[in-house]
Structure 1
Amino acid sequence: MSDQEFFHAGERVGVLTTQPLDRVLDYRAPEGGCFLGAYVEVPLGPRRVLGVIWGPGQGDFDSAKLRSVNRVLDVAPMRIEMRQFLSRAADYTLTPMSSMLRLATRAPGLSDPVSMRKILRRGASEPERMTDARARVLAALDEYGGLAFTPKELSDLAGVTPSVLKGLVKQGALREEEAPRDLPYPHLDPELPSKTLTEDQAEAANVLAQAVQNGAYGTTLLKGVTGSGKTEVYLEAVAACLRAGRQALVLLPEIALTAEFLTRVEARFGATPAEWHSGATMTERRRVWRMVGQGNAQLVIGARSSLFLPFRDLGLIIVDEEHDTSYKQEDGVLYNARDMAVLRAVMCSAQVVLASATPSLESWANAEAGKYRRLDLAARYGAAVLPEMRAIDMRVEKLPSATWISPTLRSAMSKRLERGEQSLLFLNRRGFAPVTICRACGNQVACDHCDARMVEHRFQNRLMCHQCGETKPLPTVCPSCEVEGKMAPVGPGIERLGEEAALAFPEARIAVLSSDLFGSARALKERISEIVKGEADIILGTQLVAKGHNFPLLTLVGVIDADLGLQGSDLRAAERTFQLMRQVAGRAGRAEKPGEALLQSFQPEHPVIRAILSGDEEGFWKAEAAERQAAGVPPYGRMAGIILSGSDLPAVFDLGNALARNDGPLRAIGAQVYGPAPAPIARIRGRHRVRLLVKAAKGVPLQEAISRWIAPCRLKGDLRLNVDIDPQNFF
């Protein structure tokens, strides 16, 4: 079956829809016929829904009762490799095909005909009379750098009625224009000069470029120390891909990284590429989706979901910071973008580059086994050198109560302030304090809907649950014993650390970087840009700051609690702590001035802390790999998580016990089932959660066995069952 297969009007066709159905539905091809892979609108009950021509009809439905496809959408048909990718991904993750198709059609207005549209831009005049509503409109336009918006987008963005926009148009403060709905992206020129590469960089870039030119599948682990210029190396692979006339995709783990990265891409290729992430407008997302399918977007910079865009000829996928946990989708369709990137590349004969200073153990093991090519960049670019790393033994530091910056770290920060250099304090806890306790009765304020403590966010004067997002005002009276004036925050969050830093260094300009403190992605990007320009002396950040940012004036990194990730029984705890500490330490000394990283620890003799300080990364990976191999756990074994949830706890446990008793399909492949047991976070949004864990040898048909195992389950009421193949977290 090829992409050119054509179905004539009235022929029986099979249509996969985005609706939660368990099969392809039969329809009659519309007047004028349709190609295999065409996006169509079909009747389903009283509604019209989106679907794709998936093949010939099954023939198991009375042809006299068949309804006809309403119309074929004016977009490029889904290519055969994309259909194969969705099918393989669905089989691997045990996800219904309808859910996979929804992932691949997450662009607004796909059913709309191609046409002109009315857009609004900032006009040359100011309004005669400024109101709050008008000010919000103009501020929204200014925040997005003068971009044009449809009237609905602008009214929604500014929270105003259409009449406010009409008034601004009449006064010349807004300008109306007619524009095509979706325009091709500017041409990127791979022949523009690149930065001068070091010998190691040039050698790695040549290897990647040659692999891309060969036009076959392959995966390369590009391992380079922080600041070694991995980006410049893989941009040369992008250039080779563009020269070959194919499309490229660069995945980034954090939206805040896109501003700096786009600047570098524009400098290298002379134009800005397409962007696909939650910060893009609805109009822009539709444009990206359509242009990618037509081949009119050469390069996409995107979040994990951009893997499901309908590329016409995808030749290269870059997964930057490939170790990052945000590449795992933890709700809806459960998938790891790093693994799906490899699968997508196999389907379309593309190259994959996994770039990281601290690769995941899975990628490291695949390179060791010869499945992936490995390229190493051992030195920093230019005059920059790796930071000196030391531990501060908190057992011998004399700290006043309710403070967290040690005298040793404070002294190092003072020296940086005197020299006009920047310091970074890292604490991987959002908010002001992780726990609010009543000193009268000991009650800790918990979320009403989740098995989680509420986190104080003092800047917002609210308590927040980081599981479901529920908020409530900071209490002055204990909700349990009703005693007034005894509520107290316990432990530090990044906001509380900010207060301590402001008291310790009253003359310093302090910037707090935490995703929950910014109203928009653009505001976060602007703050990072200000820091890069030197408009802050002390930076305080959560995990956000460890992800690839380049602050030229930053010479000191202080980790407030290096032990934080070592607690608990997560099999990846050591790996994640090692990665996070090495990554955040790597923010220091990325320009001419040398850097220093100080890790505050109550257990500096811990093997992970010693490995971080020694810099013996290969030794750490080998030791970690040996432990995992001995235990038969990933990447040397298989795991799957089964999460059961519902409002009735006994019913959830009954389902879990029934599954545990009837585990014959799993025993047949030698797999073991652990549980059922309450999940570590046992209730979220009022739903009780129970977990089973399946462990199996590598190479066994785990998905097939799990499918047979759960097939007899009948989910009554609001019971839900989710399968997580290769779980990254065990919550």
Structure 2
Amino acid sequence: MLPFPLPGPFDYAVPDSLGTLAPGDVVLVPLGRREEVGVVWDPQDAPPPAPDPGGAADPVPAPPRPVADTRLKPVSALLDVPRMPHGLRRFVDWVAGYTLTPPGLVMAMALRINAAAPLPPALGWVRSGSNSSAARETPARKRVLAALADGMPRGTAELARLAEVGSGVVRGMAEAGLLREVPIPAAAPFGIPDPDHPGAELAPDQAVAADALASRVQARRFSVTLLDGVTGSGKTETYLEAVAACLREGRQALVLLPEIALSAQWMQRFVRRFGVEPAVWHSDLGSKTRRRTWRAVAGGEAPVVVGARSALFLPFPDLGLVIVDEEHETAFKQEDGVLYHARDMAVVRARMSNAPAVLASATPSLETLTNVENGRYRHLVLPGRHGGARMPAVAAIDMREAPPERGRFLSPVLIDAVRDTIGRGEQAMLFLNRRGYAPLTLCRACGHRIQCPNCTAWLVEHRARRQLACHHCGHTEAVPPNCPSCNAEGSLVPIGPGVERITEEATALFPEARLLVMASDTLPGPTATAEAVRRISEREVDLVIGTQIVAKGWHFPGLTLVGVVDADLGLAGGDLRAAERTVQLLHQVAGRAGRAEMPGRVLLQTYTPEHPVMRALVDGDFAAFMQREAAQRRPGHWPPFGRLAALIVSADSADAADSTALALGRAAPSGEGIQVLGPAPAPLAILRGRHRRRLLLRTRRDIAVQPILRAWLDTVSPARTARIDVDVDPVSFL
């Protein structure tokens, strides 16, 4: 199997010099005029994949016809790379079959060619044993030799520091024959977590749930459990006991977080429980750390891995537990390359490893709740906050009755609440899920709106950078002095607020308050995020202003007020899950308030306080809201009560996109329980310069979409510049 968009593996001959190769071996093979890294794959008549989390099996395509032995090229070399485990190879095949992705592309995520490359040994210096008379002995050289008296090799920088000399002294001694370069013995890449390290004392509800999870780990059988607890109920401490049980079994554990860069407090909790940090896996790792971690996982030297969704494809030899924290988060869906949902694929990976899966959330997705209702998943509930803290009181501010001043965005009710909170020495938070200063720039003279040249999207003003930016393709340009359409001078005005504009307003309203902005623009990585969390936790900040980053499970004991600037923001448009996502996001944001001894308060600025989402938040009845959502989706077979797959046609020109989309529409499948919607322009009809059209296949739950999609796609040849992307179980409808 080669890491390219090919329909399956290629056949090669094994030369006698390589002996016998086995499935999973990583090899170098000729491909055309070059050589490529690949993995020896299993026979293509292997058993079909396991069923998906919803229960429908996906048939495997027919195996390709064999190639004659005389036409086979020989394998070039067997590489010094750990063998890809059988379970991971099965998982690659399954993901490829379920998502209709060429298996080589899925395998590329698992192989991580750069990560799998051997690490060059670190080199250090020891005494050579030579007493060359030509070598001048100086006090500095004596100190170097004394630092090496224990016989342990040391690198140049460390040796120079210990001997209090320059690195040139060390190199000069080597040239004089006084030092000899040798490999430094590799230290264990990661500390070993201690399952018996004293952790936090669990409340009775936590202890019962932890015991239940631990027993499922000890059973060494596949199961799925929803750990459902209100914000602040201690879900992390509870599922860490399942991790401890996994360690006692001698197996490896994987914890998936929706955004690993935001895991500062999670890591602190892990260290308190186990005494050391876990292995970490995400896209921001340096190449050396990535290689060390990949090989440690493959060698069983990384007992616990915490990572983003791509950690699912690491080569665990004995995976004994998979945890998906904040399972409702849409960040678990990969929207480019291989389109997969890490939550669902985590359940499949656990099944193939005979391991339990734990899905944790204060606001579980409707898909997960439906699986609980149908008996596929077990359910554990933590009904109260840990340590006696109470859930915050939630109220809606009707912006029709308490509007802000002209040109402002904060209601007098919210302003007074923030002022009172800060005056008591407590912390407040303002939440607006919109980056930048303003989402739209409008000409007052002619009405022109400044749009991205590459996308069907308005440019967002970022006043701090003095730029207009597209949040879809990354295009930026300076704010023009005149209207680009009518050339009117000084006529451009910002419309609507982003967090920068709310920060400007808050600075004017609360001049004595110490402000901190938490947004992806102001927190470029894990280090900046950790520092922001430290400042808030140590009460160096009075008012936090943030986007969705602030909803990620943080524990700020001094935070007692959360104000949502625009609670209606996520409800516009035709997104199937708009109401569900809005409830989840705002419930999570609200959960930042009152997590310690001081009671919390949440204020929602809304123009529709009667909306079911606002009523659910004010009443604190998440369960009733989700039952209502289920009742609305069930009759039309909308997920999770039916299946969806999107076909997205993109092309360089509108004509090419239209012709391909119309051909798909004419060839659309039909039958009982099958419906095709479209073709129609996608909501983002142009993205990164490509014209986009969309079709949706909807079926009953008992009908697998993959065979239908394969047969459908086989009947259509796209236009020369057109591409058809398939998204099974779409989350985004842009």
State whether TM-score is above 0.5.
yes
Q: Tell me, in whole angstroms, the C-alpha distance in 1 between the residues paired with 2:327 and 2:307.
A: 14
Q: Tell me, in whole angstroms, the C-alpha distance in 2 between the residues paired with 1:408 and 1:709.
A: 56
Whichever residue aligns with residue 28 of structure 2, its letter is E
Q: In structure 2, do the counterparts of structure 1 residues 394 and 630 end up closer, same or farther at CA, with 3 Å as the change threshold?
A: same
**Alpha-carbon displacement from aligned partner over 1:173-212 (angstroms, at most 9, x marks no partner):** xxx9975789532111101112111110000000000000
Q: Which residue of 2 aligns with 1:296?
A: 301
Per the alignment, in what secondary structure is the counterpart of residue 55 of structure 1?
coil
User: Which of 341, 353, 357 is 2:358 aligned to?
Assistant: 353
User: 1:547-558 alignment to 2 at 5 Å?
Assistant: 547-558=552-563
User: Which of 324, 342, 363 is 2:347 aligned to?
Assistant: 342
User: Which of 4, 22, 27 is 1:35 aligned to?
Assistant: 22
* Deviation larger for 683-692 or 520-529: 520-529
Q: Which residue of 2 aligns with 1:622?
A: 627
Q: Tell me, in whole angstroms, the C-alpha distance in 1 between the residues paired with 2:185 and 2:634.
A: 57
Q: Tell me, in whole angstroms, the C-alpha distance in 2 between the residues paired with 1:170 and 1:269.
A: 42
Q: Which residue of 2 aligns with 1:420?
A: 425
Per the alignment, in what secondary structure is the counterpart of residue 362 of structure 1?
helix
User: Which of 441, 450, 459 is 2:455 aligned to?
Assistant: 450
* TM-score, normalised with respect to structure 2: 0.88
Q: In structure 2, do the counterparts of structure 1 residues 719 and 149 end up closer, same or farther at CA, with 3 Å as the change threshold?
A: farther
User: 1:142-221 alignment to 2 at 5 Å?
Assistant: 183-221=188-226
Q: Alignment length, in residue pairs?
A: 667
Q: Structure 1 residue 170: deviation in Å?
A: 5.7
Q: In structure 2, do the counterparts of structure 1 residues 641 and 299 end up closer, same or farther at CA, with 3 Å as the change threshold?
A: same
Q: Structure 1 residue 316: deviation in Å?
A: 0.6
CA contact (8 A) 1:387 1:594 kept: yes
Q: Tell me, in whole angstroms, the C-alpha distance in 2 between the residues paired with 1:303 and 1:335.
A: 13
Q: Tell me, in whole angstroms, the C-alpha distance in 2 between the residues paired with 1:314 and 1:261.
A: 21
CA contact (8 A) 1:74 1:114 kept: no
Q: Structure 1 residue 236: deviation in Å?
A: 0.1
Q: Which residue of 1 aligns with 2:247?
A: 242
User: 1:365-380 alignment to 2 at 5 Å?
Assistant: 365-380=370-385
Q: Which residue of 1 aligns with 2:728?
A: 725
CA contact (8 A) 1:393 1:604 kept: yes
Larger Rg: 2
**Alpha-carbon displacement from aligned partner over 1:260-312 (angstroms, at most 9, x marks no partner):** 11111111111111000123222111111111111110000100110011111
CA contact (8 A) 2:656 2:719 kept: no
User: Which of 670, 673, 679 is 1:670 aligned to?
Assistant: 673
Q: In structure 2, do the counterparts of structure 1 residues 169 and 396 end up closer, same or farther at CA, with 3 Å as the change threshold?
A: farther
Q: Which residue of 2 aligns with 1:55?
A: 42
**Alpha-carbon displacement from aligned partner over 1:587-629 (angstroms, at most 9, x marks no partner):** 0001111100000111101111101111112211111111111
| Structure 2 residue 23 is the aligned partner of structure 1 residue 20 | no
Q: Tell me, in whole angstroms, the C-alpha distance in 1 between the residues paired with 2:113 and 2:295.
A: 9
Q: In structure 2, do the counterparts of structure 1 residues 455 and 171 end up closer, same or farther at CA, with 3 Å as the change threshold?
A: farther
CA contact (8 A) 1:669 1:700 kept: no
User: Which of 492, 495, 505 is 1:490 aligned to?
Assistant: 495
Q: Which residue of 1 aligns with 2:110?
A: 104
Per the alignment, in what secondary structure is the counterpart of residue 67 of structure 2?
coil
User: 1:573-588 alignment to 2 at 5 Å?
Assistant: 573-588=578-593
Q: Tell me, in whole angstroms, the C-alpha distance in 1 between the residues paired with 2:156 and 2:658.
A: 50
**Alpha-carbon displacement from aligned partner over 1:433-489 (angstroms, at most 9, x marks no partner):** 000112222111111111110101112111110110111112212222222211111
Q: In structure 2, do the counterparts of structure 1 residues 150 and 493 end up closer, same or farther at CA, with 3 Å as the change threshold?
A: farther
Q: Tell me, in whole angstroms, the C-alpha distance in 2 between the residues paired with 1:42 and 1:480.
A: 57
| Structure 2 residue 413 is the aligned partner of structure 1 residue 408 | yes
Per the alignment, in what secondary structure is the counterpart of residue 35 of structure 1?
coil
Per the alignment, in what secondary structure is the counterpart of residue 42 of structure 2?
strand
Q: In structure 2, do the counterparts of structure 1 residues 631 and 181 end up closer, same or farther at CA, with 3 Å as the change threshold?
A: farther
* TM-score, normalised with respect to structure 1: 0.88
Q: Tell me, in whole angstroms, the C-alpha distance in 1 between the residues paired with 2:307 and 2:210.
A: 22
Q: Structure 1 residue 717: deviation in Å?
A: 2.3
Q: Tell me, in whole angstroms, the C-alpha distance in 1 between the residues paired with 2:123 and 2:605.
A: 57
Q: In structure 2, do the counterparts of structure 1 residues 180 and 262 end up closer, same or farther at CA, with 3 Å as the change threshold?
A: farther
| Structure 2 residue 695 is the aligned partner of structure 1 residue 689 | no
Q: Which residue of 1 aligns with 2:77?
A: 71
Displaced runs of 4+ in structure 1, greater than 4 A? 56-59, 148-151, 168-172, 176-183
Per the alignment, in what secondary structure is the counterpart of residue 17 of structure 1?
coil
| Structure 2 residue 705 is the aligned partner of structure 1 residue 705 | no
Q: In structure 2, do the counterparts of structure 1 residues 267 and 60 end up closer, same or farther at CA, with 3 Å as the change threshold?
A: same
Q: Which residue of 2 aligns with 1:86?
A: 92
Per the alignment, in what secondary structure is the counterpart of residue 255 of structure 2?
strand
CA contact (8 A) 2:439 2:495 kept: yes
Q: Structure 1 residue 114: deviation in Å?
A: 4.4
Q: In structure 2, do the counterparts of structure 1 residues 621 and 519 end up closer, same or farther at CA, with 3 Å as the change threshold?
A: closer
CA contact (8 A) 1:257 1:549 kept: no
Whichever residue aligns with residue 591 of structure 1, its letter is A
Q: Tell me, in whole angstroms, the C-alpha distance in 2 between the residues paired with 1:685 and 1:267.
A: 45
Which runs of 5 or more structure 2 residues have no equivalent in the other structure? 45-63, 125-153, 158-165, 171-180
Per the alignment, in what secondary structure is the counterpart of residue 339 of structure 1?
helix
Q: Which residue of 2 aligns with 1:285?
A: 290
Whichever residue aligns with residue 105 of structure 2, its letter is S
Q: Tell me, in whole angstroms, the C-alpha distance in 2 between the residues paired with 1:506 and 1:171.
A: 57
Q: Tell me, in whole angstroms, the C-alpha distance in 2 between the residues paired with 1:374 and 1:441.
A: 58
Q: Tell me, in whole angstroms, the C-alpha distance in 2 between the residues paired with 1:692 and 1:717.
A: 19
Q: In structure 2, do the counterparts of structure 1 residues 180 and 288 end up closer, same or farther at CA, with 3 Å as the change threshold?
A: farther
| Structure 2 residue 576 is the aligned partner of structure 1 residue 571 | yes
Q: Which residue of 2 aligns with 1:7?
A: none
Q: In structure 2, do the counterparts of structure 1 residues 59 and 322 end up closer, same or farther at CA, with 3 Å as the change threshold?
A: closer
* Deviation larger for 74-83 or 194-203: 74-83
| Structure 2 residue 33 is the aligned partner of structure 1 residue 46 | yes
Q: Structure 1 residue 558: deviation in Å?
A: 0.2
| Structure 2 residue 277 is the aligned partner of structure 1 residue 272 | yes
Q: State the identity %.
A: 50
Q: Which residue of 1 aligns with 2:523?
A: 518
Q: Tell me, in whole angstroms, the C-alpha distance in 2 between the residues paired with 1:463 and 1:299.
A: 43
CA contact (8 A) 1:181 1:287 kept: no
Q: Tell me, in whole angstroms, the C-alpha distance in 1 between the residues paired with 2:657 and 2:327.
A: 36
Q: Tell me, in whole angstroms, the C-alpha distance in 2 between the residues paired with 1:375 and 1:605.
A: 32
Q: Structure 1 residue 228: deviation in Å?
A: 0.2
Q: Structure 1 residue 581: deviation in Å?
A: 1.1
Q: Tell me, in whole angstroms, the C-alpha distance in 1 between the residues paired with 2:372 and 2:35.
A: 48
Q: In structure 2, do the counterparts of structure 1 residues 464 and 383 end up closer, same or farther at CA, with 3 Å as the change threshold?
A: same
Q: In structure 2, do the counterparts of structure 1 residues 59 and 71 end up closer, same or farther at CA, with 3 Å as the change threshold?
A: farther
User: RMSD of the alignment, in Å?
Assistant: 2.2
Per the alignment, in what secondary structure is the counterpart of residue 540 of structure 2?
coil
* Deviation larger for 26-35 or 193-202: 26-35
Which runs of 5 or more structure 1 residues have no equivalent in the other structure? 1-15, 120-147, 152-167
**Alpha-carbon displacement from aligned partner over 1:498-552 (angstroms, at most 9, x marks no partner):** 0000000011110001012233332222222221211110000101111111111
**Alpha-carbon displacement from aligned partner over 1:151-178 (angstroms, at most 9, x marks no partner):** 9xxxxxxxxxxxxxxxx96699xxx997
Whichever residue aligns with residue 222 of structure 1, its letter is L
